[in-house]
Structure 1
Amino acid sequence: MAEVAARVRVIDDVRADALPLDELIASAEPAVLRGVARDWALVQAGLRSTHEAMDYLRGEYNGEAVTYSWGDRDVAGRPFYNDAFTDLNFEVRRGRLEQVLDEIAACADDPRPPTYYVASLLIDTRFPRMRATNDLGLRAHGIDAPPSIWIGNRVTASCHYDAMNNIACCAVGRRRFTLFPPEQIGNLYPGPLEPTPGGQAVSVVDFDAPDFQRHPRFRDALASGQSAVLEPGDAIFIPSLWWHHVQGLEAFNVLVNYWWSSVPAYVPTPMHALYHAMWAIRDRPEREKQAWREVFDYYVFGAAERAGEHLPEAARNVLGPVDETLARQLRAMLIAKLNR
């Protein structure tokens, strides 16, 4: 495993009812919240045994089918691309959770088992009673973040970023997190935007055996990286757009995470703007691109109030704060223009 330069900051003795969310978001740095979920029923079951953790999940499960990734032994726990980066190296299957758990248990002692991964499953849709005894209670902080569950064997989620803030709770098994700040994107060699193993572009570097001849800038990323191993009951705060590589270290692993945005729901994901900018700007002559950089710095990346501060408030329109009404108008305008 590639070694990074630093360890993630650790905050000890954190209680779910006293999460330091304001401080975490303001710091814009990852932090391990040691033991914050240790009292969860699922965590306690897993600490007793893998068998009890699986039985606990079976007991909470409502029987509806789940979607999961399956890969043969050659996948080696790393859902990824084929050699040509034109397709993925695993299958997407659908079945009952009991079947997935039984198959994971059956190959628990296999040194090279097939890969099983139930990813980003909304807890409330399959485990409707589970939050009563397994939850961080973010609603009490004014945050609407329905939790998702991730169930699998020794699976590696290749290094990627999410647009939202994230708190990931290690419920069963241990997990290693390796994180990089957003500015390291060029040193992490992102793969195709479509298709992707899990919805976001991932680094094509094999962290277990990095090829520095093919990916020499990855050394620079390692110098800026941070790592942490989470024990059952620990959680980690991952700020939006921080790259993170996640390895399940046991034969059976369960993680619960919470994503939330720092902006209102009527503000869309910037990924739409990224695709549009690649279409509209990227392939223009360099002089034009530099000029558009200045335009974007003025209207977008500078102080929010700068572009409209010299105008009367009634004349600012989109140069002023965007509220829900203006967001609907902008959406309608963009749809109309794109459909011409």
Structure 2
Amino acid sequence: MTGIHTAAMTDDIWNDTPSVPVYHDVDRALFENEIKPANCPVLMKGLGAHWPLVEKGRQGPEALAAYLRSHANTQPVQAFIGAAAIEGRFAYTDDLKGFNFERQAMPVGDLLDALLARLDEEGDALYAGGIPVPAHLPTMDADNPMPLLEPGSDRLVSAWIGNRTRIPAHWDLPQNIAVVAAGRRRYTLFPIEQVANLYVGPLDLTLAGQPSSLVDFHAPDFGRFPKFREAMKAAQIADLEPGDAVYVPPMWWHHVESFTSFGMLMNYWWREGPDYMVTPFFTLLHALTTLRDLPAPERAAWRVMFDHYIFRLDGEPMDHVPMDARGIFADMTPDNLRRLKGFLASKLQ
């Protein structure tokens, strides 16, 4: 580990922002035993430097595009296209009821053509994000293996291909390793505790699936978003070159910026825990109908109940009850899970 250093920033307001810790020569043992348990983002230099994908990217956009075409099929992906006026920042419209970009379906080959045609322009912003690699570039993953994950383990492998773009700060539920294949990228990261200072937009109308910050990181409106100054104090930066990777633990806010006219990122997302687990975001939404508008003393009482039964701050809450008498609080067998889902479904009608 090289320690924290101050990165060269493109915007004066971020000049004093520290970088995430930087590691070299990361292998699976180091990742599993030191990096993951710390639950903090890190920059892993050169993790994908040996990939053919990265080597093609170093040869230039045309070489990378030709390599991607050799692996791509004709299944359309969803591309985001924004006018030059948005300066690469994909965001909401001013009334927060729409977006400042359009979506267009196109095969990967057409996306590559459109990006190559824009190489020398400072015009519109174009990218396709979260492209499922097995569905659209089905032979590419085998050529560029992720060394930090067990081969064959359950993960979502995605590609992000575009020009100079800015993706607002958002969080993802899974763990994430992101490897730059071409171009340069910056991740600006915050712990989940900064949620109150990031001014998150509508939770049920999102740019690409996850709630995101309304703040323009290049020109924050501190009159409208005064607490963002507090978020900035907690920020960390990861500046990535081709072959570099960043580890983003679950629920860390991250703003992502691409600096070049043809860039590509590979994402590896995975979750750990029982297979039956679904996103806790559903619980948050359900709480709108059960908890949010209760009188304050009742909300406080239910916080105690959640701390006891769900977060288990007092230890295992049912230790005093035999397993075969714990009902839905017993171990989550298939029968127990089916019974619990049936009970919930009957109450949500």
- Is 2:75 aligned against 1:64? yes
- 1:32 maps onto 2:46 in alignment: no
Cα shift readout 1:24-66 (whole Å, capped 9, x = no counterpart)? 2211111111111111111000111121111111111112222
Q: Which moved more, 1:244-253 or 1:100-109?
A: 100-109
Matches of 1:237 and 1:219 in 2, distance apart?
25
Q: Superposed, which structure 2 residues align to 1:260-299 within 5 Å? A: 260-299=270-309
Partner of 2:22: 10
User: In the alignment, what sits opposite 2:187?
Assistant: 177
Determine the C-alpha separation between the residues in 2 that align with 1:298 and 1:256.
40
Residue 252 of structure 1 aligns with which residue?
262
Q: How many residues align?
A: 337
Structure 2 residue 218 is matched with structure 1 residue 208:
yes
CA contact (8 A) 1:138 1:144 kept: no
Map of 2:136 onto structure 1: 126
Question: What is the TM-score with the length of structure 2 in the denominator?
Answer: 0.92
Partner SS, residue 186 of structure 2: strand
> Contact 1:10/1:32 (CA < 8 Å) preserved in 2?
yes
Q: CA deviation at 1:22?
A: 4.0
Instruction: Kindly report which structure 2 residues correspond to 1:296-335, keeping only aligned pairs within 5 A, or say none.
Output: 296-303=306-313, 305-335=315-345
Q: SS where residue 100 of structure 2 aligns?
A: coil
Alpha-carbon distance, 1:206 to partner: 0.6
- Structure 1 residue 305 displacement after superposition: 4.7
Structure 1 runs (4+) deviating above 3 angstroms are none
Q: 2:94 aligns with which of 79, 83, 99?
A: 83
* TM-score between both structures, scaled by the size of structure 1: 0.94
Map 1:71-220 onto structure 2 (within 5 A).
Answer: 71-111=82-122, 113-137=123-147, 140=150, 143-220=153-230
Residue 50, structure 1, aligned to residue 90, structure 2: no
Distance 2:163 2:201 in 1: 24
The percentage of aligned residue pairs carrying the same residue is 38
Distance 1:325 1:20 in 2: 36
> Which region of structure 1 is more displaced relative to structure 2, 66-75 or 141-150?
141-150
Question: Offset at 1:330?
Answer: 1.7
What RMSD over aligned residues (CA atoms) do the two structures have, in Å? 1.7
Per-residue CA shift, 1:199-235, capped at 9, x if unaligned? 1110111100011121111111111111010111011
Distance 2:152 2:119 in 1: 40
More displaced, 238-247 or 51-60? 51-60
Deviations 1:260-282 (A, max 9, x none): 11212211110110000122110
* Aligned residue type for 2:23: I
* Structure 2 residues not aligned, in runs of 5+: 1-10
Alpha-carbon deviations, 1:71-92, whole Å to 9, x = none?
Answer: 2222221111000001111111
Match of 2:8 in 1: none
User: What secondary structure sits across from 1:7 in the alignment?
Assistant: coil
1:232 aligned to which of 229, 242, 253: 242
Q: 1:323 to 1:156 in 2, by over 3 A?
A: farther
- Aligned to 2:68, the other structure's residue is in SS state helix
Distance 1:323 1:220, change over 3 A: farther
Greater alpha carbon shift after TM alignment, 90-99 vs 43-52: 90-99
Matching residue of 2:4 = none
